[in-house]
């Protein structure tokens, strides 16, 4: 390896620095490029070294949009409009400091607590866990039996299957320090009655009824987490259980990446449900630039912020929702409010953009503007991207 790069990777100097291996798909060359990404927490600066060409690709530059908590293997980050996949730690020091406690676990919201998804996700963020994947699905009897296979011989098995297949569930991948035990602590005892006595603030105490209808499920070990995550979010074969989109009398909402990364997802979902809207499908996506341009094409040449809107939509994970309004799509646009959050705060202070938006580009949510596009926009996420 070139000596200057070797120094970048292994030299231990006085200033703290974290090193990662990162991949970026270069669409113009149709190539996957690999970089050494260096992050300096003192001033939130980044540096990138092109590994193949053995040269500095990005000189050390301050970049406040990247935070230390975003840096973990498996995450997708955005550096100056490039989406980078972090595929490994660049040295043992980084792995020891940032990677040693990081775990992934499966959280599944059961049918009895679906309408509490906003509150549950908010509690997840408050416990310093991050939702990295999410999908609403409806399990068949066979899928539920496969998922709960270790309980097959138990007396409650049929009751459990009957309950978990009676409505939609939301599966989520949670990431964080000791995520398996952190999520199980947040859940509380399996029996909701016991939870109310022993852990009154736990999810099962708040949202569960008994030992089966207990609000949510959590993996009990890292091995279970790996198996259960593979069940819902398979890494090799297909897409796992199907999404729940209906494409009937519904409209599209997208919680934008800035709102997801700021931990606002739970609050936004809660506001939507509290306003009387039904969420009929939900899924997290990481969009590339081509997808974002295609989805937002109707705004090209019409809205001055088009380029910024595209950059925002592919800057990180977003959450797409299919929403069934009580009185037609127009009412959902009213809940979202004016595109400019400043105007929204003056005219409609209780709208989603007034409450959670920052600018015309980072305005918390996208909603379908034209009635004829309602189904098309829902289909774009739930049929094309999840096809």
pLDDT digits over 67-96, tens only? Answer: 888 888 878 888 887 888 898 999 999 988
Q: What is the DSSP string of 43-66?
A: TTEEEEEETTTTEEEEEEEE-TT-
Domain count, the chain: 3
Same domain, 126 and 224: yes
Residues 118, 273 contacting (CB under 8 angstroms) = yes
Can you tell me the distance from the alpha carbon of 36 to that of 23, in angstroms, rounded to the nearest whole number? Answer: 9
The domain boundary residue, chosen from 99, 122, 141: 99
**3-state SS string over 106-149?**
EEEECHHHHHHHHHHHHHHHHCCCEEEEEEEECCCHHHHHHHCH
Q: Which of 2, 6, 151, 217 is catalytic?
A: 217
DSSP, res 243: B
Same domain, 126 and 209: yes
Indicate the angle between helix axes 179-187 and 117-126, nearest 10 degrees.
130
For residue 13, what pLDDT is reported? Answer: 52
For residue 5, what pLDDT is reported? Answer: 44
67 is catalytic: no
Same domain, 166 and 189: yes
Residue 287 lies in a domain: yes
Same domain, 314 and 341: yes
Residue 256 lies in a domain: yes
pLDDT tens-place values along the chain, 387 residues long? 444 444 444 444 568 999 999 998 877 777 889 999 999 999 999 999 999 989 999 999 999 888 888 888 878 888 887 888 898 999 999 988 887 778 999 999 999 999 999 999 999 999 999 999 999 999 999 999 999 988 888 888 999 999 999 999 999 999 998 999 999 999 999 989 999 999 999 999 999 999 889 999 999 999 999 999 999 999 876 678 999 999 999 999 999 999 998 999 999 999 999 999 999 999 999 998 889 999 999 999 999 999 999 989 988 899 999 999 887 667 899 999 999 999 999 999 999 999 999 999 999 999 999 889 999 999 999 999 986
Name residues whose C-beta falls within 8 Å of residue 86's C-beta, 6 or more positions apart in sequence: 20, 21, 22, 37, 71, 72, 73, 74, 75, 76, 77
For residue 235, what pLDDT is reported? Answer: 83
For residue 1, what pLDDT is reported? Answer: 43
Q: What is the CA radius of gyration of the chain?
A: 22
The domain boundary residue, chosen from 47, 65, 99: 99
Same domain, 123 and 60: no
For residue 19, what pLDDT is reported? Answer: 95
Same domain, 121 and 205: yes
Same domain, 76 and 145: no
Residue 373 sits in a domain whose CATH number is 3.30.70.141
Print burial letters for 111-127: b (CB count within 10 Å at least 16), e (below 16). Answer: bbbbbbbbbbbbbbbee
CA–CA distances in Å: residue 325 to residues 244, 249, 380? 16, 8, 19
Which structural domain, as residue segments, surrounds residue 137? 102-232
């Amino acid at each position: 390896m070139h000596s200057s790069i070797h120094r970048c990777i292994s030299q231990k100097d006085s200033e703290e620095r974290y090193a990662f291996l990162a991949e970026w798909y270069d669409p113009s060359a149709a190539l996957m490029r690999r970089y050494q990404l260096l992050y300096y927490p003192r001033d939130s600066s980044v540096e990138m070294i092109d590994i193949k060409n053995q040269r500095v690709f990005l000189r050390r530059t301050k970049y406040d949009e990247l935070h230390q908590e975003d840096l973990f293997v498996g995450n997708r980050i955005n550096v100056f409009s490039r989406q980078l996949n972090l595929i490994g730690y660049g040295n043992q020091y980084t792995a020891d400091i940032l990677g040693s406690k990081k775990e992934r676990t499966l959280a599944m919201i059961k049918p009895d607590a679906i309408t509490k998804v906003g509150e549950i996700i908010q509690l997840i963020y408050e416990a310093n866990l991050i939702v990295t994947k999410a999908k609403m699905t409806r399990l068949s009897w066979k899928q539920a039996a496969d998922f709960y296979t270790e309980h097959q011989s138990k007396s409650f098995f049929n009751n459990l299957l009957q309950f978990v297949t009676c409505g939609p569930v939301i599966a989520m991948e949670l990431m964080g320090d000791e995520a398996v035990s952190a999520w199980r602590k947040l859940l509380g005892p399996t029996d909701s009655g016991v939870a109310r006595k022993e852990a009154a603030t736990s999810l099962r105490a708040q949202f569960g009824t008994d030992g089966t209808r207990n609000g949510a499920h959590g993996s009990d070990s890292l091995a279970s987490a790996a198996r259960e995550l593979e069940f819902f979010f398979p890494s090799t074969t297909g897409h796992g259980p199907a999404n729940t989109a209906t494409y009937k009398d519904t409209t599209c909402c997208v919680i934008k990446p800035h709102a997801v990364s700021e931990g606002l997802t739970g609050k936004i979902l809660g506001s939507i449900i509290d306003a009387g809207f039904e969420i009929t499908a939900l899924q997290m996506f990481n969009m590339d630039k081509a997808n974002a341009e295609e989805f937002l094409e109707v705004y090209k040449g019409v809205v001055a912020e088009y380029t910024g809107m595209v950059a925002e939509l592919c800057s990180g994970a977003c959450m797409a929702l299919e929403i069934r309004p009580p009185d037609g799509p127009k009412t959902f646009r009213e809940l979202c409010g004016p595109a400019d959050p400043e105007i929204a705060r003056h005219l409609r202070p209780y709208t989603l953009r007034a409450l959670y938006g920052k600018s015309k580009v980072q305005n918390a949510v996208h909603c379908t503007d034209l009635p004829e596009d309602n189904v098309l926009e829902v289909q774009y996420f739930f049929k094309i991207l999840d096809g």
